[in-house]
Structure 1
Amino acid sequence: MKTKSIFQTFASRLLIMLLNFGIIIFSTNFWGAEGRGVIALVVADLAVIGFFTNIIVGSSISYFAAKLAPGEILTYAYIWAVVCGISLPLFMLFNEHSREYLHYLIILSVLIALFTANISLFLGQKKLERYNAYSAMQNILHFLVIGIMVLVFKWESVETYFKAQIFSYLVLVLIMFAIIWREIKFTRLNLSQSTVKKLFSYGWKTQLSAFLQFLNYRLSFYFLEIFRGVASVGVFSVSAAFSESVWTVSRSLALVLYSDVVNNADHHDSVAKTKFSVKLCFLATVLLLALILSIPTKIYMLIFGESFHEVKNVIVVLSPGILMIAVSDIIGYYFAATHQLKILNIKSAVGLVVTVFCGLYAIPKWGLIGAGIVTSLSYSVSSLLLFWKFYQNASFKGSDLFFTQSEFQQLLNMVNQKLFKK
């Protein structure tokens, strides 16, 4: 794995994380727990819609970028993005918040799908600099425009969040369109049943797993809204965002690993890189979690406001599951890159069963803490299943639990290359 790619991706993810924290702090102080709850629920709706649009515009584009004509697969992706982005929000109208913000759901669904199609192409072509740059730029624009709208123009409604988000995606989609149009040959559309079938077949399998895993991540939001109100969603969403920030490391490593493995025919090399990434991810995640858990409750209240006094307690119960997901994400990306998708669906389905049955008992009874316990348990059970399957396929050795001398030297070399290069 290239040191430059790892550090660039990590730097991009770290910047995105910090900007997201900035937006969270801004939103909690301006709109309180209830406003933050509304934002979390609408963002969750967008994620649900995104899992269906991503059947074509997501991992399918990355996987087939080097295997099929880019112009052809992007054409199908753009059509899918528009059709799904306009139609799917209409199925969310059973939620009160979805009805109120329907126009934002439609516009953002289309723009996010188009944006995802373009950066997925960059990832599949191993253009990680572009992938990281545009991912970071979206968050930078969103953060800046929210600040300008609220502080300069005094637009203090929670809708400002979504208006700024629309602006950030629209600007970047137009820029990417201009660049891609110059680099890729788009031919006259001639629907190829074979191409569409390949895109859909790969995409629905990966997205089914992602959708089930999303329900593991966010079903607690909807349970909390039903049993404890929107304000509790706001508090839990902040707790989740803060604890999930440690996934910056795992997802950076996972993206680089995926880009490597999907273009690598050497099975043994791919397994070795995955094992190394798992150990590196575990070490980094433990250190970051220790740092987050050392922050006193008073600091969280100072940053987010008095109504967020339970954030620290929720983070504590979330932490074991957060660690498990961080490490298992590495293995999940390995399975996705090697087209072993069935196990991802199974592990997500198992986690969802835990979330539903335990959540319906624990959340009404224990509220925020119950939601944290259920989420952590779901993460842990599904992750253990993934570990077991990986080590069925890859021989397990004692050294897989610790850095070997050569791996430790490799890690030192990676750091030295970055810190002391001329």
Structure 2
Amino acid sequence: MPQSKKGISLFKDIASVFFTKVFVLFVGLFSSILVARALGAEGRGIMAAVLIYPQLLVAITEGGMRQAAVLYLGQRRASDAEVIGSLFSYMLVAGVAGYGMCYWLMMTVGPSDFGHVMMAVAAAILPVTLATNALKGIFLGKEKIKDFNKVTWIQKVIYVAGIGVFYILGELTVFTAVLMTLLAAAFNFIQAIFYLNKKSLFSFSFRLKTFKAMFGIGFVYAIALFFIQANYKIDILILSWLSTPYEVGNYAVAVQLGELLWQLPAAVLVVLMSKTANSKGNEIVGTLCKATRLTLFITVLSCIGLVGASYFLIQPVFGLEFSSAFMMLLSLSLGLVLAAVFKSINSYFAGKGNPYFTIKLMGAAVTLNVIFNYLLIPKYGGVGAGIASTISYTFSAIGVVTVLVLKENVSTRDILVVKTSDFDPLLIKLKLKRR
């Protein structure tokens, strides 16, 4: 395939995932506004504290098998049926174990106001999410980007519709919001199964050798993913221990707004990991550098717009109780931009089946995050948590750029500084449309 057509194809895949993720996040943002207005800062904080447990444990219990499936399917290391069989055999066992682990943790170290029914519902989110993530891994391994998008956006529509109904009926509580999270995840799983069957991708056989090989590399992915997730989520957990639900609620809103900046790098990560797993040697490094510098350029511009808009809109949209969220978002902003660099480049190493350096890098970043959270939260609350996260995000971005420069012999400028030629695929696409 000519280089220009490859560029257009990559641009189309990234754009499709990006716009899907932006749509998903804006739909989620609308539901977040309803939740914030119905629950207030304290209730929003309790909800964030409940959901943080299944969110963090997914990365551990998933065992990296989804990433292993992308690698094995993309590089055709085993038959599709063997890969899928190994994937789901593991997810079945991990789902049961993960449910028990999640429930036990909430019961032993979670706030006392969770309640057993609430914990049971929240813990059930974990096995359903595990199963859905496994299915998404199949889509990515087979480069079925459109099907991946469909599985992603419909879940959020179901969720926001349910939240909207509960809000109109005056029944939107922490429990019903958590319940809708579970119901939407369950629908997402059923929908993914439907698409797999429709595409005739769901074949199943089990071979112990394939399972052991996938589990071996998957275990390394799992450790790396846990550190990545912990770096993004542990501030909420520590904030819930050292501060008040009110402070956690404001910080949760700041984080959700900040996640708007991560939709492009998240799209780049999804597509590049899929493309890298299906590529040979280092042929995709040039594309990686181009995607990273474009991502950084767009994320910087988006950050300026987001911070400016948030200054005027947070209180009118979310309510006066969330007035502290702006300063928390401001403390996070530089870190959110630099995290985009890490997300983009890390997709290359993940797609190549080499997550080992990620473990070392993110292990150090999480350690920094925990240390600064404990130092800053008691004095500065959510703003302190934001500063701690910015420090760890900065460290991880510098680390991943350094590793790429040394490993692939590229310059820092090639990775970070945008070029006018980077926009050529977009211009070609626009010219083709005019014809």
Instruction: Output the TM-score relative to the length of structure 2.
Output: 0.89
Deviates more, 1:45-54 or 1:134-143: 45-54
Aligned to 1:82: 92
Q: In the TM superposition, what is the alpha-carbon distance from 1:396 to its structure 2 partner?
A: 3.0
Aligned to 2:132: 115
Q: Deviations over 1:128-151 (max 9, x none)?
A: 000011101111111112212332
Aligned to 2:307: 293
Aligned to 1:124: 141
Secondary structure of the residue that 1:295 maps to in structure 2? helix
Q: In the TM superposition, what is the alpha-carbon distance from 1:298 to its structure 2 partner?
A: 4.5
The answer to whether the 8 A contact 2:28-2:156 is kept is yes
Secondary structure of the residue that 1:73 maps to in structure 2? helix
Deviates more, 1:344-353 or 1:48-57: 48-57
Q: Specify which structure has the bigger relative contact order, considering alpha-carbon pairs within 8 angstroms and separated by 6 or more residues.
A: 2
Q: Deviations over 1:334-373 (max 9, x none)?
A: 1111122111111111111111211111111211111111
2:61 to 25, 43, 53: 53
Aligned to 1:25: 33
Aligned to 2:382: 368
Distance 1:233 1:251 in 2: 25
Flag the 1:131–1:305 CA change in 2: closer, same or farther, 3 A: same
Q: Deviations over 1:311-343 (max 9, x none)?
A: 111111111111111012111001111122111
2:236 to 201, 221, 246: 221
Deviates more, 1:258-267 or 1:401-410: 401-410
Distance 1:375 1:122 in 2: 32
Q: Deviations over 1:113-165 (max 9, x none)?
A: 1111111101110000000111011111111122123324x433221112222
- Give the letter for the 1:126 counterpart: E
Deviates more, 1:305-314 or 1:390-399: 390-399
Secondary structure of the residue that 1:264 maps to in structure 2? coil
Q: Does 1:276 align with 2:275?
A: no
Aligned to 1:317: 331
Q: Deviations over 1:76-129 (max 9, x none)?
A: 333333332233243312123385522113322121111111111011100000
Aligned to 1:65: 73
Secondary structure of the residue that 1:396 maps to in structure 2? coil
Which runs of structure 2 are paired with 1:345-356 in the superposition (5 Å)? Answer: 345-356=359-370
Aligned to 1:170: 186
The answer to whether the 8 A contact 2:293-2:418 is kept is yes
Secondary structure of the residue that 2:410 maps to in structure 1? coil
Flag the 1:119–1:355 CA change in 2: closer, same or farther, 3 A: same
The answer to whether the 8 A contact 2:128-2:189 is kept is yes
- The number of equivalent residue pairs is 416
Q: Does 1:402 align with 2:417?
A: yes
1:344 to 345, 358, 363: 358
Aligned to 1:242: 257
The answer to whether the 8 A contact 2:261-2:299 is kept is yes
Deviates more, 1:36-45 or 1:369-378: 36-45
Q: Gaps spanning 5+ residues in structure 2: where?
A: 1-6
Q: Does 1:36 align with 2:60?
A: no
Deviates more, 1:388-397 or 1:320-329: 388-397
Aligned to 1:159: 175
The answer to whether the 8 A contact 1:49-1:88 is kept is yes
Q: In the TM superposition, what is the alpha-carbon distance from 1:209 to its structure 2 partner?
A: 1.4
- Give the letter for the 1:358 counterpart: F
1:143 to 131, 152, 160: 160
Flag the 1:9–1:178 CA change in 2: closer, same or farther, 3 A: closer
The answer to whether the 8 A contact 2:48-2:248 is kept is yes
Distance 1:312 1:406 in 2: 36
Flag the 1:10–1:278 CA change in 2: closer, same or farther, 3 A: same
Aligned to 1:196: 211
- Give the letter for the 2:120 counterpart: H
- Runs (4+) of structure 1 exceeding 4 A deviation are 398-401, 414-417
Distance 2:317 2:156 in 1: 20
Distance 1:120 1:162 in 2: 25
Q: Does 1:16 align with 2:16?
A: no
Q: In the TM superposition, what is the alpha-carbon distance from 1:405 to its structure 2 partner?
A: 4.8
Q: Deviations over 1:360-394 (max 9, x none)?
A: 11111211111111110011012111111110012
Distance 1:218 1:358 in 2: 14
Deviates more, 1:389-398 or 1:77-86: 77-86
Flag the 1:86–1:150 CA change in 2: closer, same or farther, 3 A: farther
Q: Gaps spanning 5+ residues in structure 1: where?
A: none
